[in-house]
Amino acid sequence: MLRLFIIIALASLLFPVKAQQYLTDTIGKTSLTNNIYNKPLFSDSLTSSFCIVIKKEVRAHRHLHHSEHVVVIEGQGLMKLGDKNFIIKKGDVIFIPKNTVHSVKSTGEIPLKVISVQSPRFDGTDRIFEAEE
């Protein structure tokens, strides 16, 4: 047991986790030519976070293996989450359980900007787009 403790203690010294800060004010302020701009913010083995700027929409999709929290920091939109539709705006926090179909359309005069926190870590391989209706 003592050996395990020493190994964990040494590993924490060799591979420290550093707190980080990212200012999102300027993300998406330059020419937003594409529909979606996705800026990775932070990631470790347990979670990943992104600042996403949506000019028009995010098509209906689901994630097989992770849940997602979305925090709206600018703009407004119409979100579909499962079988519900609702307006989202600055300050709203949305929880999307794994394997739940979701989409969003930007409806404001400025693009929709959100922080997306996904757990476990999102590597892009479990996003399944739904067929167009």
Q: Phi first, then psi: give them for residue 16, nearest 5 degrees.
A: -70, 145
pLDDT band at 14 (very low <50, low <70, confident <90, very high): low
The size of the chain, in residues, is 133
Predicted local distance difference test score (pLDDT) of residue 63: 94
pTM for this predicted structure: 0.81
Percent of the chain predicted with pLDDT > 90? 63
Taking all residues of the chain, what is their mean pLDDT, rounded to a whole number? 86
Per domain, the residue ranges of the chain are 20-129
Whether domain 20-129 has CATH 3.40.50.10680: no
